Amino acid sequence: MYGPLKLQYISERRASLEPSLIHRHKERQQSSRRRVTDPVGGRTTEPEANVPPSSEQPYVIVRRFMLANMDQPFERMREITQLQYSNWPDFGAPAHPAHLLGLVEQCDAVVRASTHSHITGPEQADSRPVLVHCSAGCGRTGTFCTVDTVLDILRRQRMNQNTPRKANSANAIALPDSEDMSWVQRDNIDLIEKTVEDFRLQRLSMVQSLRQFVLCYESVLEWLAEQQPKSA
């Protein structure tokens, strides 16, 4: 209990950050369209590629909670899913690009499950909010948000190449309504540099170090390489 707020623990498990396991699991889902019934509230969630506790594979801890406000007993309880990636220290070795992409993918899977969507394209307008934090909320947080946002922009650019439509705001960017977002669809803009610049207008020191800035480029390049069709 935290004042009128009641937080109820539901479950905890490990989910893989290994790209090959995530992709294999996603392919199995797409072929079978299998969905697992959630015992809480009768909802459905997408199962992750789980990792045994004894395994040394990179993983994220997935925790689920129910949050209720006791001062508002007739309001619906809120379901919260927490992803904790503890293998990315504040100081020391940075996250591996492939594992950061795995973290983004696992976060996307949670968002898709909350909206009952299997779409792997850009973020939907009615998606539930995602809160990202680390110790100070700027270095690792900024790196994750930058990579997540740039990937969403690239997906929008690819989608708009096939279907002309009005550009939407990017996944994690929260710009003033008057801000010109036309740069999102331009191919002569450094999307990472521009995204970090806009984030720093909202919060000091987003993407705090040079190594984190380089990691953003490494991760996006890794993602682009994965999008290339495999040769026979």
Task: Provide the annotated active-site residues.
Answer: 134
CA distance 138 to 192: 15
- Strand positions, DSSP E, the chain: 5-16, 36-37, 44-45, 59-69, 78-84
Cβ-contact 12, 78 below 8 angstroms: no
- Cα-atom radius of gyration of the chain, to the nearest Å? 19
Dihedral angle at the C-alpha atoms of 170, 171, 175, 180, nearest 10 degrees? 0
CA distance 134 to 128: 20
- The dihedrals phi and psi of 62, each to the nearest 5 degrees, come to -105, 115
